[in-house]
């Protein structure tokens, strides 16, 4: 094990992966926001906005997929803690200049660990759902710029990325 690895929170003394013990932390309100986008052909975005995608309402389905995925983050990402989510919101904004769809997710909990992964999983799964629903029209879509834009609560305080205004 390297000297640096001794300070990694997800490794035990033997260098093996482990879940971080958060039992000594006090629960606090925690919030996270993440963003991403799906770049696509102009015609694909037009079909989404017209409501003529064969698989149905793309925005409603992607929003629901994002919410459902956030609730399962602990099942999808190794070593994530299961969290009682107080709130998950997913916002989708068509952007003709991309062309594509911008996605933002907001997650909240009152617990011992943060909800950053839940917000990023929500964005990612909403984006994947858009791809899945529209792939018959456009296999060249690109999921991009998925990132954390805000987190608050807990010992490390607040993080705010330099960013454009919120979608909500």
Q: Can you name the residues that pair with 142 across neighbouring β-strands?
A: 39
* pLDDT(43) > 90: yes
104 carries a ligand binding annotation: no
pLDDT value, residue 1:
43
Q: Which residues is 101 bridged to in the sheet? A: 38, 94
Count of other CB atoms within 10 angstroms of residue 128: 16
For residue 46, give the nearest of 138, 128, 167 by alpha carbon. 138
Q: Is 134 annotated as a binding residue?
A: no
Q: Tokens in use for 105? A: 């997710």
Mean predicted confidence (pLDDT) in 89-112: 97
- 118 annotated ligand-binding residue: yes
Would you please indicate which residues are annotated as catalytic (active-site) residues?
132
Q: What's the predicted TM-score (pTM) here?
A: 0.89
CA–CA separation, 153 vs 73, rounded Å? 19
- Domains of the chain, CATH where assigned: 28-153 (3.30.70.640)
What gap in Å lies between CA 101 and CA 103, rounded to an integer? 6
């Amino acid at each position: 094990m390297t000297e640096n690895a001794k300070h990694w929170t997800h490794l035990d003394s033997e260098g093996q992966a482990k879940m971080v013990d958060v039992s000594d932390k006090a629960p606090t309100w925690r919030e996270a926001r993440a963003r991403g986008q799906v770049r696509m052909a102009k015609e694909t975005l037009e079909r989404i906005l017209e409501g003529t995608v064969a698989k149905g309402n793309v925005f409603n389905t992607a929003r629901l997929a994002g919410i459902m995925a956030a609730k399962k983050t602990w099942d999808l990402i190794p070593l994530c803690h299961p969290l009682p989510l107080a709130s998950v919101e997913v916002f989708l904004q068509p952007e003709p200049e991309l062309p594509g769809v911008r996605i933002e997710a907001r997650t909240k909990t009152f617990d011992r660990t943060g909800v950053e992964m839940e917000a990023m999983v929500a964005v990612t799964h909403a984006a994947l759902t858009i791809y899945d629903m529209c792939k018959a029209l456009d296999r060249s879509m690109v999921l991009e710029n998925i990132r954390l834009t805000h987190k608050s609560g807990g010992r490390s305080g607040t993080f705010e990325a330099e960013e454009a205004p919120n979608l909500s």
